[in-house]
Amino acid sequence: MLKVFTGIILCFLLTTPIQAADVITFGSVSQVVFTHKEHQKDLGGCTECHGAKDPGPIAQFGEKWAHTTCLGCHSENKAGPVECSGCHTQF
């Protein structure tokens, strides 16, 4: 019985789509609040930031990646902040 129950739970977990958080906050010195669902909706999916892989953490994510990728996208699309205080809420 335990094997059947475990199998059902595993099937459920493996077939349930990953749900991203509405808002992600990161940074300990200069906090950044990232509206994940809003960006996902505006960009039409996951691949702009996550690449062709399945959704999940961005392996190369860090300050350099964010400044290059995020600022590049904001500048290119003329949407979103390009000044430090536009993303960083405290210094």
Sequence-separated (6 or more) residues with CB below 8 Å from residue 51? none
pLDDT (0 to 100) of residue 70: 93
Residue 34 backbone phi and psi in degrees, to 5: -110, 120
Rounded Cα distance, 80 and 66, in Å: 13
Q: What percent of the chain has pLDDT over 90?
A: 22
Dihedral of the alpha carbons of 14, 17, 23, 28, in degrees to the nearest 10: 30
Tell me which CATH code domain 20-87 carries. Answer: 3.90.10.10
Residue 52 backbone phi and psi in degrees, to 5: -80, -10
The 10s digit of each residue's pLDDT in 36-72 is 888 988 988 888 888 877 678 888 888 899 999 999 9
- pTM for the predicted model, two decimal places: 0.68
For the chain, the domains span 20-87
